[in-house]
Amino acid sequence: MDAQQRLLIEDACRGLVLRAAARADAHDAAGFAALFAADAVLQRPNAAPLVGRDAIRDAYAQRERSRITRHLVSNTLITVESATRASGHSLVLLWAGSSDDAVGVQGRPAQGPVLVGEFDDRFVLGSDG
């Protein structure tokens, strides 16, 4: 694999992490789940693992529509293992709020604590992309 191929894979993986955060924040459960492999396992904090696209979609579709989240993802490091496999590590800050709160001069207030976390991802290029 040459340097250009490696950079393209790294960029695609970083983009996937950002698209996942954006779709979760947009309440797009189907679009979020579609980013995962058919046999994916998503481990959320303090919850049982979600196994498969359907389980991921169904769990995210149950989120309260009034809940606003903003995942700020940074420092994503991608390790390319082959032309079809990579791993990644990202740092995450999560803010939450509610669309039930009035919009003020500085937006809506955050609710609850700001959460600090990380994503550890495995990327696989399958036949469906």
pLDDT tens for 83-99 read 999 999 999 999 999 99
Percent of the chain residues topping a pLDDT of 70: 100
Question: What does the pLDDT read at residue 37?
Answer: 93
Q: What is the pLDDT of residue 33?
A: 98
Question: Residue 52 pLDDT > 90, yes or no?
Answer: yes
Identify the three-state secondary structure at position 119.
strand
* pLDDT in the model for residue 113: 86
Q: Are 90 and 13 in contact (CB under 8 A)?
A: no
pLDDT of residue 53: 96
**Is pLDDT at 128 greater than 80 in this prediction?**
no
- C-alpha distances (whole Å) from 94 to each of 58, 79, 100 are 21, 24, 19
Residue pair 86/78 in contact by the 8 Å Cβ criterion: yes
